[in-house]
Structure 1
């Protein structure tokens, strides 16, 4: 049985390249959730920000605009394709340092006022170790603000196309419990406890619910679901073109009739403080 690939290998392969190519579309789809993250972070001019799992740079760029020339943004990710896309984008406000590194272990300077992440922390391989390292990157009193998905059943933008595909394909084997994955922190109380174990105080989660527009019409929505997100891996394994088309047709049929196609998204906004 082959050894499972690491998250660094995963995000530097085909997945990272596809997400980099889809940067503009992904940022548009997740825009209302990104706004909730940044509003929750309460960034102020002159603050020093650490962006964990910065991907193609959207949150880092928006943080730089909010903190202004007197601030700084350190944006870190393991994915070279996504960082290349991030570095190519126009920037303004705070200077941004783009770092290809693993936030679980990178020796950050303990100087940041805020550590934030949009859908990055669920992919840590050792969550408690990683959050402890992020805490050490904050100054005393510095704050952590991260956005992560709630349960699959609460996220129609994922489960609607997934349920449709599973009328054509067999259900895949479940991922190992507690391993990296988009719904790893669906249990908000467990996340609060984990942040406490990592040395944070005042940890709390607040629900964020917002529909997201995943396509201009059913065809575009099905194409989006087939390219990114949990269902994409299933579809990549289909070798029979006719079977793949049946799966795509099932997704198109399952999409709501409204244009653009909007489906619910459910997240936790998790916050905590470095106790100093």
Structure 2
């Protein structure tokens, strides 16, 4: 296991993973338009065997299991024990007509999923964090075998993602000494330039590679009664506690975090419409077939 793998495992099994687990329903609601686009492209069929990479709290694996029905199979992998614990609890409430799901705490870069064991591998924002991207896609490809399909979402550039850019711009001046992340380092915007990933897929033995821009408006927070304050409070919780801005505030003192929260809330007030805070998101939807 490399140092970066170790860092990712510690990050997602610590306080961050626990926060994401506790707020999984809110995140699933925010990302629903993007999840819908992923599954429309994946076009899963009953009876198929599906590998979910970076399954998190289980939303995508559960949806895959419903789609492939009891005649199919789903294996869902993630580094985070807290998120997997929530996923298993959610799966226990699923009807018998869904496919069986095996939940495993594993690094998809190196875990042996079996040779040609799956018809389809999919991922909602789970493939940008590998230490060795080439090894990871090759390993996933072995699990697919010839003719297996890969479908995943990854973020486009930060500048195109207002849901991150808008709050980040007002938080950055409050965070001294924040170094920008190297473009090729593991992180959410690692594949903002598709040239960082498409040649890797080709070299790893994939064909019929497609890369399409997906633009959606995300509802970051909404209110039940239509009030702006409730919507802003909900959106601020997502941005400050769970979104990429949360990384900027990690390990900062309580006063700075509170100041950042107030600043973000003030900024998001300008984006409330009809009782909801909505901001744009921009992704790449990439699919390929294993040669």
TM-score range, shorter chain: over 0.9
Aligned pairs (5 A) from 1:156-167: 156-167=162-173
1:236 paired to 2:250 = yes
Distance in 1 between residues matched to 2:88 and 2:172, nearest whole Å: 38
1:181-192 matches, within 5 Å, as 181-192=187-198
**Among candidates 248, 261, 274, match of residue 277 of structure 2:** 261
1:20/1:81 contact within 8 Å kept: yes
CA distance in 1, matches of 2:263, 2:56: 30
Superposed, 1:118-197 pairs within 5 Å as 118-170=124-176, 172-197=178-203
Q: 2:262 aligns with which of 246, 249, 273?
A: 249
Give the 3-state SS of the residue equivalent to 1:88 in structure 2. helix
Alignment partner, residue 97 of structure 1:
102
In 2, distance between residues paired with 1:33 and 1:257? 21
Unaligned runs of 5+ in 2: 223-230
Deviation at 1:270, TM superposition (A): 0.6
Partner of 1:77: 78
TM-score, normalised via structure 1 length: 0.94
State the shift of 1:240 in Å.
4.7
1:204 aligns with 2:206: no
Corresponding residue SS for 2:139: helix
1:115 aligned to 2:121? Answer: yes
Q: Report the TM-score when normalising by structure 2.
A: 0.90
Aligned counterparts of 1:77 and 1:238: Cα–Cα separation in 2? 27
Q: CA deviation at 1:165?
A: 1.1
Aligned Cα RMSD in Å?
1.4
- Post-superposition CA distance 1:157-192 (Å, at most 9, x none): 111111111243336101233121000010123321
Are the aligned partners of 2:33 and 2:218 in contact in 1 as well (CA < 8 Å)? yes
**C-alpha distance in 2, partners of 1:161/1:141?**
42
2:89 is aligned to 88
CA contact (8 A) 1:7 1:125 kept: no
1:9 is the counterpart of 2:10: yes
Number of residues of Structure 1 aligned to a counterpart in Structure 2: 272
Report the Cα offset of residue 248 of structure 1.
Answer: 1.5
